[in-house]
Amino acid sequence: MKTIILGAGIIGISTAWHLLERGHEVVVVDRQPDAALETSFANAAQISVSYCEPWANRDAPLKALKWMFDNEAPLLFRPHLDWHQWRWGLQFLAQCNDAAFERNVQQIVALGAYSHAALKDLVSTTGIEYNRLERGIAHFYTDQKSFDAAGHAVELMRKHGVQRRLVSRDELLQIEPAFKAYGDKITGGTYTSTDESGDARVFTQELARRCLERGAQFLYGHDVLRLNKIGDAIDSVAVMARQTSGGGKKDFIVKGDAVVVACGSYSAPLLRTVGVDLPIYPGKGYSATFPLLKPEGAPMVSTIDDGKKIAMSRLGNHLRVAGTIELNGYDLSLDSTLARARCHMLSRRIETILPGVCDTRTPEEGGNPQYWTGLRPATPTNIPFIGQTRVGKLWVNAGHGTLGWTHGAGSGKALAELICGERPAMNFGFLGTEAARAPRAVVAA
C-alpha cells in the first residue's frame, strides 16, 4: 500500500515511520528543504503529559476580553473579517464550561500517555539523541490565588492517572535550585517527575533520516497545489517543485492508495478544497533561544512560569523559552510592533527570573537571541483530529495546538494503526469512528 503524507513536521514524520514499520510505501511532501522547519522547529521542547489543560475553561472568556489590548498577554485575540476565525471563536466559547473541560481533559491526557509510551519506544528503537532531559516538568506560581487554584488542576490530573503533585516553594527550589534568586517571588508550584523535554526539531529530522534509510521518498521543496478528487475519493495529489534545475516550474501528479494531511494550521484550507471542513485555526506562538552565559546556573528541569504562561527548557548550552498564543490569522512576522513586544517580553522575563544566566540582550542591545514564531494548529477543544474523513482515501492528522511535540509520536502511531485497520489501545474519539460522535466542536468531515 502506498501512502502520501503531506507535511514533514513531527506529526507527518511520525506517521511515516509507523507506516513504514507496517510495510507501507511512503511518500512525504513538504515545501521546506528539510523536515521540521515550520511549527516543529523551535517549540517549548516539553513532553508535557501532565500540563495539558485545554485553553477553553469557565474563566477563559473574561480573561480573553481583559487581555485583548495587552500586547504581552498570554492569549491574544485579534479580530479579522474572517468567518473561519469567528466560527472558531464561537465554538471555543461553547467549550468554556466545566463539563466540556472535563471531557476534553480526558481525551488529551489519554493521547498524551499513549504518545509518551510511543516516544519511549521510538527512542529505544532508534537511539536518536535530541538533548533529552528526563527531569520532569515543574510549574511555579507567583501569587497565592493562582497557587490555590493549582490544587484543583492537580486533583483533576491525578484523577486521570497523572502523578502531578503540589509542592511548596522550598520543595520547588530543591527540585530546581536555579530559581533561588527569584525564590522570594514564588509562592509554590506543582511537579511531575515523569514528564521530560528535548529538541523536537532535532528528533524529527533524525527520524526523517531513518525513514529515508527505510525507503521513504521525500519531496522536499515541493508545494501541494491541490488534492485531485474523482467521485467520492482522492485520486492523487498535484505538487510542484519550488526550484528546478532548468529554472522553470512544472507541476506533476503523485498517486497513492491513501493521502494523509498533516500540514498543521495549513491543513484546514487544504481540506476545505475537497469539502472537509475542520475547525483548525492558527495560534501564533513565539520562542526565544538564548545562549547560556552561566551554564551552571541554568535550570535542568523544564519549567512553566505561570505569571507569563511561558515554558523554559534546557537544550545543551542554550535555554529555549516559549509561550503566548495570538489568534491573528496566518501572520508569521517577527518585525511588527506587536511581535517585537512579545519577543522582548521573553527576554525581559528570563533576565528577571534567571539574572545573568543567559545572554538575553535584544538585537537592538547588541545581543543575538534566536527569536522564532510558528503557527500552532488549534482546535476549540484542544483535541486534534486524527482519523479518516468522509472523502475516500483521505486521512487527517492535525490540530495539535501547543501539544504537537507531546502528542506527535502517538498520533503518528495511532493513525498508522487506523489506516491498517487496527484499533489504537486508548479511549479517544478518532475521526471517522463511533467515538468521534461524542460531544465536541461541530465539524463536517
Domain boundaries along the sequence of the chain:
2-41+202-280+381-437, 52-97+131-196+281-378
Please name the fold of domain 2-41+202-280+381-437. Answer: FAD/NAD(P)-binding domain (3.50.50)
Please give the pLDDT value at position 441: 45
Please give the pLDDT value at position 434: 58
Please give the pLDDT value at position 442: 42
Please give the pLDDT value at position 243: 83
pTM attached to this predicted model: 0.95
Classify 52-97+131-196+281-378 by CATH class: alpha beta
Nearest-angstrom CA–CA distance, 141 and 307: 7
DSSP β-bridge partners for residue 371: 288
Nearest-angstrom CA–CA distance, 221 and 218: 9
Please give the pLDDT value at position 444: 46
List of the chain residues with pLDDT < 50: 437, 439, 441-444
